[in-house]
Amino acid sequence: MSTQPSSGFRAEYACSEGCGFRASLWEVIYRCPKCGSLLEVAHDLEALRSVPAAEWKRRFESRFGSARLPNASGVWGKHEWVCPELPVEDIVSLGEGRVPLMPLRRMASELGLASLELKECGVSPTGSFKDWGMTVLVSAVKHLRARGVPIRAVACASTGDTSAALSAYAAAAGIPSVVFLPKDKVSLAQLVQPIANGAKVLSLDTDFDGCMKLVQQVTEDRGLYLANSMNSLRIEGQKVVAMELCQDLDWEPPDWVVIPGGNLGNASALGKGFQMLKAMGLISRLPRIAVAQAQRANPLFRAFRGGFQELLPMKAEKTLASAIQIGNPVSFRRAVRTLQAFDGVVEEATESELANAAARADREGTFTCPHTGVALAAVEKLVAQGVIAKGSRVAVVSTAHGLKFADFKVGYHRGTLADVESRRANPPVELPAELGAVRKALESLG
């Protein structure tokens, strides 16, 4: 097995605010030590351009057929663009990426769109888009350990998809993982993936901020590697969603891409993927990007309405879209730059809007999570406002499988969700067990 699949291609850390700091990807570092900003992974585009765009397209297509790493993974089939110097033998993959692009034909037709398609990132090993980024982070940690860096474990403070993905990839790699959580704030059901995958789950007598503070203190000694959302390695995997979406569409980007936004790393990753494709000549124009937020956790929406003058951190209220219930997003500045570069907009959705939009899509055979519901509600509203023009081609990033949110679905169809008017509830029909009654009930079908 080749250990250097991509010799000549290079990437390194750079300060995302442009202060000039650079460092090797094999440094254990999370923020710019000069100015405190987030880091980003900077690729040597000149080296990548030594391969013509048409040849990259050919390679990306042909690699989907392979059963061996790196190509067996949708993310690592784009190895040179993701983390080129990572040796193949250190890749930790669960077969992430290469997910369906599902057309919602009736909804598109009703809205007057040329197309409306869901990039189903939740049809994935741990059930969410976090897999795309976590495969890169955990692979890098495996490589750091192979280089002798004494990392004993990976750690995060998360109740949701991040801890599920981290613990699954760590388990596959044989690297211990630790999840920090506030005691009594989280149920075992929310944690069952990390628990099953063998993470050490610490239930701490404090709140979430207290957990974050502790995880940062404990990871300062570099023996514990911090896997939270400021980690810029994860962005490199997540940006492949944009690459794969363009590949699905024969390298003709949609007019709009709509994505739910909480901490906003995902929106930045999407932008980075499209920009890299354009810089490399694989696409000739950028789509517009719309970030969709829950009305109860909408700091980016508020900032957008104010012309992005400033972010006013808010206390996010409880929303069905629990994974984006964030009042002070860590990737705010990155996301603003992305929106400015993509002529982007921000929209918000109420609880009722997000739940009904999710139910509308489900009627076409998908099983959407509430966050995808936020994005679909934003599509409905932006079309109604004329911001998304009739006839547009629209893609929505579906971030998790609805199976992770069965209670949300049950509550919707029972009509018991707070502040939600279930306009598409579809309760069972009770009938006597008689052929005549059944036949009569079925008369209205089709």
374 binds a copy of itself (CB under 8 A): no
Q: Give the residue with the Cβ less far from a copy of itself, 58 or 318.
A: 58
- Pick one of 38, 116, 144, 171: the residue that binds a copy of itself (CB under 8 A): 171
Binding-residue pattern over the window 329 to 358 for a copy of itself, x denoting contact by CB under 8 A: ------------------------------
Q: Which of 317, 385, 426, 440 binds a copy of itself (CB under 8 A)?
A: 426
> Is the Cβ–Cβ distance between 10 and 45 less than 8 Å?
no
* Length of the chain as a residue count: 446
**Taking contact as CB under 8 A, which single stretch among the options 19-27, 175-183, 291-299, 348-356 is the one that binds a copy of itself?**
175-183
Count of residues touching a copy of itself (by CB under 8 A): 99
SS3 145: helix
Token output for 358: 């999710």
Judged by beta carbon, residue 43 or residue 360, the one nearer a copy of itself is 360
Residue 295 region by backbone torsions, left for phi larger than 0, else alpha for psi between -120 and 50, else beta: alpha
- The Cα–Cα gap between 142 and 322 comes to 31
Q: How far is the CB of 19 from a copy of itself (least distance, A)?
A: 31
Q: Give the strand pairing for 393-398 and 115-120.
A: parallel
Span of 11-19, 46-54, 339-347, 430-438 interacting with a copy of itself by CB under 8 A? 430-438
Tokens of 261: 């936004």
Indicate which single residue of 83, 401, 417, 422 sits in contact with a copy of itself (rule: CB under 8 A): 401
Q: Write the Ramachandran bin of 95: left for phi over 0, alpha for psi from -120 to 50, otherwise beta.
A: left
3-state secondary structure of 80: helix
Q: Which position among 1, 46, 65, 309 is part of the footprint of a copy of itself (CB under 8 A)?
A: 65
CB atoms within 10 A of CB 331: 25
Report the half-sphere exposure of 236 (CA within 13 A, side-chain side).
28
Q: Does 1 bind a copy of itself (CB under 8 A)?
A: no
- Looking up tokens 């007019």 gives 255
Phi, psi dihedral angles at 135 (to 5 degrees): -60, -35
Q: Could you tell me which stretch among 12-20, 121-129, 233-241, 254-262 binds a copy of itself (CB under 8 A)?
A: 121-129
Q: Is 183 in the site for a copy of itself (CB under 8 A)?
A: yes
Q: Of 435, 372, 383, whose CA–CA distance to 408 is shortest?
A: 372
Enumerate residues 189-228 that contact a copy of itself by CB under 8 A: 189, 191-193, 195-206, 210-211, 214, 217-218, 224
130: contact with a copy of itself by CB under 8 A: no
| Touching a copy of itself, residues 69-88 (CB under 8 A) | 72
The residue range among 33-41, 228-236, 294-302, 435-443 that interacts with a copy of itself, by the rule CB under 8 A, is: 435-443
- Minimum distance, C-beta of residue 166 to a copy of itself, in the bound complex (Å): 11
User: Whole-angstrom Cα distance, residue 136 to residue 128?
Assistant: 15
> Contact at 8 Å (CB) between 284 and 251?
no
User: What string marks each residue from 226 to 255 as x (binds a copy of itself by CB under 8 A) or -?
Assistant: ---------------------xxxx-----
Is 439 among the residues that bind a copy of itself (CB under 8 A)? yes
Strand order through the sheet with 393-398: 101-103, 115-120, 393-398, 256-260, 288-294, 345-349
Nearest alpha-carbon partner for 240 in 63, 17, 30: 63
| CA dihedral for 30, 33, 38, 40, sign (positive or negative) | negative
Cα Rg of the chain, angstroms: 22
Binder among 38, 39, 88, 170 for a copy of itself (CB under 8 A): 170
176, 222, 278, 325: residue in contact with a copy of itself (rule CB under 8 A): 176
What string marks each residue from 286 to 325 as x (binds a copy of itself by CB under 8 A) or -? ----------------------------------------
**Least Å distance between CB 122 and a copy of itself?**
10
Asked if 169 touches a copy of itself (CB under 8 A), the answer is: yes
